[in-house]
C-alpha cells in the first residue's frame, strides 16, 4: 500500500511513536508524570515542593526540574519557586519558551505542569514530523520521509527528561519551511521563538544571515535571475531579526539576574576544537561496560550522521547560497567545541548536538540517493530505540 503524500502521515507516525514511548515511561513510573521532571537535590527541596511533584534522589536529578519551575512561575525572580532553585538563573530563564508554554498549557496550576510538559513534547513531536514532511516534499521527496526527523535519538531524552529540544526543534523546522516558502515574517517569528526556547538554535539564524551575505557577493547565477537581491536580503533580514530577538532576550536576563546567559556556562560546556571528543575516544575506545558501550555506539551514530551530512554538502557542488548549509557548518562547530564533560554521557552530547543532527538529516533528505537515505533512517531508528530502552530502564 502506498502512503498518502501528505504531511499528516509523518506527523501521525511521530505522534504514535512518542505516545507509545511516553506510555511505557508512565507505566514504569506508576502513572506519576512528575517522575519525568527528575526533580532532586540540591536544586529541589522536598519540604518546599508541592505534593504533586515527586522529589527523587540527587543522582536522578536533571534539567527537567528547571523547566518545571519555569512552568509554575515563568516571570519569577524569586530564589525558589515550587521548591526549585535555579543553578544558573540567567541561563535557565533565557531558555524560557518550553516552560512558559507549560505555564500556559497548565493554566498556571503547578499540579498540572508535569502533564503540560509531557503534552507539549508530544505535540512538538507531531509538529516535527509534519515540518519534516513539508521539507521533504519541497525537496521532491515523499512526505513520509519527514519521519526521519522525529527519529533523532536526542528526542528520546526530551520525552523522558522533560527537556526543550523537541519544542525548539519544531520551531526551527517550521522556520525553515517558511524560509523555503518565502514567508519571511513567519520564518522570523519561528526562529525567534526557537532562540527563546533553546539558545543553540540561533545557529540557524546565523545560517540565514550567512547565506544572505553569500548570495549578495556571489556572481550572477548563484540564485535565480531576477530573484537574487530580494532573496538574499530576505534571508539576511530574517536572520538578523531572529538574532536581535535572541540578543535582546539575553540582555533582559542580564538586567534581571546580573549575568549574561550565553557566557554563564561557557566554561562548563566548551573546550578547544575536538578536545572533548578526542578525550572520550581515548578513554572509551574499548568499553568496559554496558553504559560505555552505549555511549560509544551513540558517538559512532552521531559521527556517521554528521559525515553523511558533510557528504551531501560535497555532493551538492558547486555550492549555492543556502541557509541550511551555512547553519549546518555552524552547528558542526558547536559539536566540535563540546568539552569532555558533555562527551562523558550520551544524554549530554546527543542533546547538545540536536541542531547538527537535524540539519544533517535535512541534507540527507534533500540530496541523498534513496538507498543511502533509507540506511540513514534505519540507523536513526535503531539508535532511537536503543536510547528509548535505556531511558525506560533508568526510570525509578
Interior/surface letters 328-341, b for 16+ CB within 10 angstroms, e for the rest: bbbbbebbbbbbee
Q: Is residue 1 part of a domain?
A: no
Q: Which domain holds residue 128?
A: 8-394
SS3 270: strand
Per residue of the chain (396 residues), give pLDDT as tens.
788 999 999 999 999 999 999 999 999 999 999 999 999 999 999 999 999 999 999 999 999 999 999 999 999 999 999 999 999 999 999 999 999 999 999 999 999 999 999 999 999 999 999 999 999 999 999 999 999 999 999 999 999 999 999 999 999 999 999 999 999 999 999 999 999 999 999 999 999 999 999 988 876 545 554 455 678 899 999 999 999 999 999 999 999 999 999 888 756 788 888 899 998 888 777 877 888 899 999 999 999 999 999 999 999 887 888 999 999 999 999 999 999 989 999 999 999 999 999 999 999 999 999 999 999 999 999 999 999 999 999 986
Q: What is the tally of structural domains in the chain? A: 1
Q: Are strands 84-85 and 80-81 parallel, antiparallel or unpaired?
A: antiparallel
- Read off the pTM: 0.96
Pair 9, 3: CB distance under 8 Å: yes
Asked, for residue 3, whether it belongs to a domain, the answer is no
- The residues that bridge with 95 in the sheet, in sequence order, are none
Burial status of residue 235 (CB atoms within 10 A of its CB: 0-12, 13-18, 19 or more): buried
Those residues whose C-beta lies under 8 Å from the C-beta of residue 100, and which sit 6 or more positions away, are 70, 71, 74
Is residue 386 domain-resident?
yes
Rounded distance, CA 340 to CA 21, Å? 30
Grid cell of 197 as nine digits: 526556547
- Look at residue 2 and tell me if it is in a domain: no
Is residue 69, in this structure, part of any structural domain at all? yes
Closest CA to 69 of 43, 35, 47: 43
Q: What is the DSSP string of 168-185?
A: HHHHHHHHHHHHHTT-HH
**Residue listed under C-alpha cell 536522578:** 60
- The phi, psi pair for 244, rounded to 5°, reads -65, -40
Show the DSSP H helices in 74-164 as ranges. Answer: 89-94, 97-105, 113-138, 147-150, 154-161
Residues ≥6 apart with Cβ < 8 Å to 280: 295, 299, 340, 343, 344
- Residue 229 included in any domain: yes
What residue has cell string 533509507?
Answer: 374
Residue 50 to residue 283: CA distance in whole angstroms? 42
Q: For residue 64, tell me if it sits in a domain.
A: yes
Amino acid at each position: 500500500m502506498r502512503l498518502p503524500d501528505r504531511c499528516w502521515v509523518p506527523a501521525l507516525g511521530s505522534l504514535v511513536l512518542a505516545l507509545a514511548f511516553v506510555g511505557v515511561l508512565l507505566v514504569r513510573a506508576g502513572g506519576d508524570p512528575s517522575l519525568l521532571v527528575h526533580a532532586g537535590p540540591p536544586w529541589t527541596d522536598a519540604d518546599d515542593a508541592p505534593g504533586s511533584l515527586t522529589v527523587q534522589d540527587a543522582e536522578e536529578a536533571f534539567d527537567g526540574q528547571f523547566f518545571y519551575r519555569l512552568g509554575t512561575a515563568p516571570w519569577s525572580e524569586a530564589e525558589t519557586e515550587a521548591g526549585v532553585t535555579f543553578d544558573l538563573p540567567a541561563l535557565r530563564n533565557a531558555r524560557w519558551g518550553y516552560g512558559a508554554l507549560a505555564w500556559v498549557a497548565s493554566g498556571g496550576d503547578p499540579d498540572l505542569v508535569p502533564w503540560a510538559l509531557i503534552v507539549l513534547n508530544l505535540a512538538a513531536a507531531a509538529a516535527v514530523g509534519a515540518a519534516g514532511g513539508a521539507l521533504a516534499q519541497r525537496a521532491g521527496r515523499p512526505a513520509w520521509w519527514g519521519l526521519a526527523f522525529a527519529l533523532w535519538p536526542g528526542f528520546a531524552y526530551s520525552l523522558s527528561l522533560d527537556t526543550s529540544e523537541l519544542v525548539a526543534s519544531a520551531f526551527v523546522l517550521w522556520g525553515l519551511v517558511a524560509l523555503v516558502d518565502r514567508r519571511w515574517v513567519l520564518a522570523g517569528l519561528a526562529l525567534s521563538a526557537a532562540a527563546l526556547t533553546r539558545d543553540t538554535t540561533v545557529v540557524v539564524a546565523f545560517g540565514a544571515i550567512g547565506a544572505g551575505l553569500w548570495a549578495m557577493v556571489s556572481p550572477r547565477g548563484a540564485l535565480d535571475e531576477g530573484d537574487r537581491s530580494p532573496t538574499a536580503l530576505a534571508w539576511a533580514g530574517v536572520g538578523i531579526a531572529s538574532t536581535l530577538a535572541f540578543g535582546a532576550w539575553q540582555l533582559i536576563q542580564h538586567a534581571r539576574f546580573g549575568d549574561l546567559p550565553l557566557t554563564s556556562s561557557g566554561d562548563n560546556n566548551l573546550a578547544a576544537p575536538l578536545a572533548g571528543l578526542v578525550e572520550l575516544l581515548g578513554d572509551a575506545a574499548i568499553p568496559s561496560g554496558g553504559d560505555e558501550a552505549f555511549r560509544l555506539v551513540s558517538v559512532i551514530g552521531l559521527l556517521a550522521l554528521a559525515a553523511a551530512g558533510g557528504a551531501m554538502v560535497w555532493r551538492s557542488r558547486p555550492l549555492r547560497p543556502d541557509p541550511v548549509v551555512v547553519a549546518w557548518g555552524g552547528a558542526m562547530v558547536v559539536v566540535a567545541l563540546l568539552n569532555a564533560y558533555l562527551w562523558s554521557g550520551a544524554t549530554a552530547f546527543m542533546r547538545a548536538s540536536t541542531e547538527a543532527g537535524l540539519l544533517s538529516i535535512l541534507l540527507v533528505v534533500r540530496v541523498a540517493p534513496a538507498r543511502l537515505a533509507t540506511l540513514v533512517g534505519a540507523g536513526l531508528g535503531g539508535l532511537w530505540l536503543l536510547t528509548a530502552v535505556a531511558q525506560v530502564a533508568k526510570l525509578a
